[in-house]
Amino acid sequence: AQSVTQPDIHITVSEGASLELRCNYSYGATPYLFWYVQSPGQGLQLLLKYFSGDTLVQGIKGFEAEFKRSQSSFNLRKPSVHWSDAAEYFCAVGAWDNFNKFYFGSGTKLNVKP
Amino acid sequence: DVKVTQSSRYLVKRTGEKVFLECVQDMDHENMFWYRQDPGLGLRLIYFSYDVKMKEKGDIPEGYSVSREKKERFSLILESASTNQTSMYLCASLAGVQETQYFGPGTRLLVL
């Protein structure tokens, strides 16, 4: 069965520090992977996506993610965090083998210390 | 830019009331989705629709129904609201295979 795991519920980093948010997926076919960000009280905004090709993908706001098939992972990174990055981050896998469905992780809430 | 709008940002309803949540997208997308979001549980799929008048159950359809009479509009109905349906409800639309899902701003529903 398809599933997405985000093992870190909360992460706190200092402003200017680097960030890595972990995501592991379970999916039998070729995964289509996404990272979304949600600011408080808002909907989800797409940060980046991976469909095929280069396993290091660049997104908006200076984020990048690396797809590692051998580890079933799609970790999100940013070299230097800004206070405005404080939000909740969701990893998702798209399953298009039957209907178009998405499976989301439980989210990682990022706090940024000044 | 794709725009997905939801009829209300906040709603307060009484137990037993019938509740309608509406979602409209402006990009002629085939697929539309309703999720509920609860702390620590991420997004859980309630229902989705892949065409007008077509619908499929998601992972947690109990207590909900949907309607899609027009391509741009997807409604979520709580037939008889209960307190355990207090949640954030997110609507999304999707053009097709290998496309990106776009989300509305969400409706925070409180059932008293």
Query: Binning pLDDT at 50, 70 and 90, where does residue A72 land?
Result: very high
The verdict on A32 touching B (C-beta cutoff 8 Å) is: yes
Q: What is the C-alpha to C-alpha distance for residues A74 and A21, in angstroms, rounded to an integer?
A: 9
Judged against a pLDDT cut of 80, whether residue A57 lies above it is answered with yes
Query: Cβ A49–B96 below 8 Å, yes or no?
Result: no
Inform me whether the C-beta atom of residue B96 falls under 8 Å from chain A C-beta atoms: yes
pLDDT at position A98, please?
63
Query: Which helix (H) or strand (E) is B22 found in, with range?
Result: strand B19-25
Give yes or no for B100 touching A (CB within 8 A).
yes
Mean pLDDT highest for which of A38-42, A43-47, A49-53, B64-68? Answer: B64-68
Report pLDDT digits (tens) over B29-86.
Answer: 999 999 999 988 889 999 999 999 999 999 999 999 999 999 999 999 999 999 999 9
Q: CA A69 to CA B103: how far, in whole Å?
A: 28
Selected residue with higher pLDDT from B74 and A3: B74
Cα separation of B29 and B51, whole Å? 9
CB contact under 8 A, B45 and A102: yes
Beta bridge partners of B92: B33, B103
Cα–Cα distance between B47 and B56 in angstroms, integer?
A: 6
Q: What are phi and psi of A7, to 5 degrees?
A: -70, -20
Q: pLDDT tens digit string along B20-29?
A: 999 999 999 9
Q: What is the rounded average pLDDT of the residues A93-106?
A: 82
Partners of B97 on chain A (C-beta within 8 Å) are: 96, 100
